[in-house]
Amino acid sequence: MESIHAGIVACYLYVITKYGYPPPAKDTPRHLIELKALGFKSVELEGIRKEHLEEMYALRNQIKTDAETLDLKIPVFCIVLPGLSSPDTNERQQNLELFEKGCQVAEYIGAISVLDNAPIPPWSFPKGIPVSRHFDEKILANVTIPRGLQWHRYWEVLIETYRAACDLAAQRGLDFHLHPCYGALVHSTDAFLLFAENVKRDNLRFNLDTANQFFMKDNLFLSLLRLKDHIDYIHLSDNRGYCIEHLPACDGTIEWDKFFEGLDRIGFNGIFGIDVGGAETGIEDLDAAYRTTAAWLTEKWFNKRT
């Protein structure tokens, strides 16, 4: 199998699509072997909420050893903790402690960044925050904001929490990327720029996600120009514009030539994550989807930079 450029990362969505959400942490050594067999040199891993994250923490020695044996880099470790934006003080503090543990994993396995979904509003879900990759219209139709919540005070505390998270990441030399998604507070270019202006931490970065932002009508070309100083990592997949889906490149309606023109305009020199799949997308041959998208990206971008 021809190896893939090290600047192209196999996102954890590959593993999630094959093995569920969250996938069994104990099978991570097998996941690394599978991604290596696809030809990837760089992969993304995740720790999803308390139980899964702590399992990944316990496996950190084996993960590091296996990655080194396979000659795999893990530049990004995702720490998925929706409780960071909780209005409850104790829950926020517990999640900050988990975030620090995730940063320990990231540093140990050689990552340069950690990543989390952007903070969600202080929704009150009927049965607690559902374990879901993203929240759609159906899920959000039945939520509310708790009575008595004072928004301005909540916002102040949220900013303080994310400053603390950025500082925890910075102590280990890590950037902290926020991933935009439907229903989140930081779901677009405008929202991130406002949030970053308030947090005031240089290591707070934006994980530009082509499919999610295209679905939410965030102009990708303009986003690139406005986010020039805030992006080092792009999640790349296609989308048709009418639902949440993560398609192989050129299976949707994103105007890729314009997108790459934007990358050229800003002098982008970061890395890309192939973020194809998910139960909502219905891809029959996931391996082929990752290989073909990686080959297409190599031709469209990396071959033109040498």
Query: Within 10 Å of residue 262's Cβ, how many Cβ atoms?
Result: 19
Domains and CATH numbers, the chain: 8-305 (3.20.20.150)
**Longest distance between any two alpha carbons in the chain, whole Å:** 58
| pLDDT score recorded for residue 126 | 65
Calpha distance 89→149 (Å, rounded): 13
pTM of the model: 0.94
The per-residue pLDDT for 306 is 64
| Interatomic CA distance for residues 223 and 229, integer angstroms | 11
Q: State residue 137's pLDDT score.
A: 65
d(Cα 15, Cα 25) in Å, to the nearest integer?
10
The predicted-structure confidence for 16-42, as pLDDT tens digits, reads as follows 999 999 999 999 999 999 999 999 999
Residues in the chain predicted with pLDDT less than 50, given as ranges, are: none
Sheet holding 233-236, edge to edge: 204-206, 175-179, 113-117, 73-80, 42-48, 8-10, 271-274, 233-236, 208-209
Q: Please count the helices (runs of H) and the strands (runs of E) in the chain.
A: 12, 9
Distance CA 86, CA 125 (A): 12
